[in-house]
Amino acid sequence: MTKFEPISDPIIVQEVAPRDGLQIEPTWVPTEEKVRLIDAFSDLGFSRIEVSSFVSPKAVPALRDAAEVFARIKRNPDIIYVALVPNERGADDALAAGADELNLVMSVSQTHNLANMRMTGEASFAAFQAIAKKPRGKATLNGSIATSFGCPFEGDQPEQRVLDLVRRYLDLGVDGVSLADTTGMANPRQVRALVDKALKLVPPGALTLHFHNTRGLGLANVLAAYDAGARRFDSALGGLGGCPFAPGATGNICTEDLVNMCHEMGIATGLDLETLIQLSRILPPLLGHDVAGQVMKAGRNCDLHTAPALVR
């Protein structure tokens, strides 16, 4: 484990491979394989798992079995099973399927929202206002802001527009807010500055950072966010993931790489790295391609190898 004294504040890792990870995969992953993966995440001890999206099956065919997946997974009452929702129809379907949390998603960038959700930001927000008024039983609401750190179509997004959206989500009564770096444009200095300001509006237990490793800065951004006080992070097994409606999108930060970094530094995650690595090794045969995760290939620091015999 770690050479360092434990740091007192653990992080919460929300596993998003079943949703963000699989939404961009060209190979159909059969429902029973999705269920097996999600059940394995439940057994591993994640407290939050993003299970699927209730979106148009034409927009994201890979997740067209969202309701069936929800119906077939083993439910642990201590785990929050999240559904991504773009509109009222998605919210109704996700509630009917028994989602514990609806993750409402819109982009700060108008151009990305039009490409991704085929509507303006105001139209997305109007739908969220209607969703917030629906009877939802115990289901909670999370408000995600895509392209918070930059947009592949528009470039930089003003911090103030992101923070205004955070405020508008809070006014709706959401239980949490996520800042998403949809195509990995964030840098650590920018992350520190925005997290610092966001944490004046949202407590650390309700703010999630969603990073993609598109330009290799994913874990550097996690650390900058952690140092600024953030404690909740999205990540995907194997580093799968990406938005199908953003050019050049690639994977989320990789769960087992994140957990490895945290454990080596003395930050607890509540997750077992060895089991995670074993699970991530099922991904290449399942998807038919190599995945981005690095620790699954190198092993843990403590996994010692037999030294080769000395060559004379």
- With H, G, I as helix, E, B as strand and everything else as coil, classify residue 9: coil
Closest CB to Zn ion among residues 81, 149: 149
Choose which of 13, 228, 230, 243 interacts with ligand COA (CB under 6 A). 243
Cβ atoms < 10 Å from Cβ of 296: 24
Site for ligand COA contains 245 (CB under 6 A): yes
Cα 18–21–26 angle (5° rounding)?
105
Which residues have CB under 8 Å from 155's CB, separation 6+? none
Cβ proximity of 143 and 174 under 8 Å: yes
The partner residues of 142 in beta bridges, in order of sequence, read 103, 176
Site for ligand COA contains 76 (CB under 6 A): no
Choose which of 52, 103, 116, 214 interacts with ligand COA (CB under 6 A). 116
Residue type, 249: A
Closest CB to ligand COA among residues 53, 260: 53
Rounded to an integer, what is the distance from CA 42 to the centroid of its chain? 16
Determine the length of the chain.
312
Closest CB to ligand COA among residues 131, 262: 131
Residues in 197-226 that interact with Zn ion by CB under 5 A = none
Instruction: Tell me the closest approach of the beta carbon of residue 200 to ligand COA, in angstroms.
Output: 26
- Give me the residue label for tokens 């989602």: 99
Site for ligand COA contains 60 (CB under 6 A): yes
Site for Zn ion contains 50 (CB under 5 A): no
Closest CB to ligand COA among residues 56, 275: 56
Q: What are phi and psi of 103, to 5 degrees?
A: -95, 100
Instruction: Tell me the closest approach of the beta carbon of residue 199 to Zn ion, in angstroms.
Output: 21
What one-character DSSP code corresponds to residue 267? B
Q: Which does 56 bind (CB under 5 to 8 A by kind): Zn ion, ligand COA, none?
A: ligand COA
Site for Zn ion contains 101 (CB under 5 A): no
Cβ proximity of 145 and 178 under 8 Å: yes
Choose which of 13, 55, 166, 267 interacts with ligand COA (CB under 6 A). 55
Whether residue 243 lies in the annotated active site: yes
Closest CB to ligand COA among residues 113, 260: 113
Instruction: Tell me the closest approach of the beta carbon of residue 257 to Zn ion, in angstroms.
Output: 16
Site for Zn ion contains 20 (CB under 5 A): yes
Site stretch for ligand COA (CB under 6 A), options 28-36, 53-61, 74-82, 299-307? 53-61
Site for ligand COA contains 17 (CB under 6 A): no
- With H, G, I as helix, E, B as strand and everything else as coil, classify residue 159: helix
Rounded to an integer, what is the distance from CA 127 to the centroid of its chain? 22
User: By CB under 6 A, how many residues form the interface with ligand COA?
Assistant: 21
What one-character DSSP code corresponds to residue 204? G
Choose which of 105, 179, 194, 254 interacts with ligand COA (CB under 6 A). 105
The alpha-helical segments, DSSP class H, found in the chain are 22-23, 31-44, 66-72, 88-97, 110-117, 121-132, 159-172, 188-198, 218-227, 255-265, 273-280, 283-287, 295-298
Catalytic residue among 243, 254, 262, 302: 243
Cβ proximity of 85 and 54 under 8 Å: yes
Site for ligand COA contains 262 (CB under 6 A): no
The footprint of Zn ion (CB under 5 A) covers: 20
The footprint of ligand COA (CB under 6 A) covers: 23, 53-56, 58-60, 84, 86-87, 89-90, 93, 105, 116-118, 146, 243, 245
Q: Which residues are catalytic?
A: 243
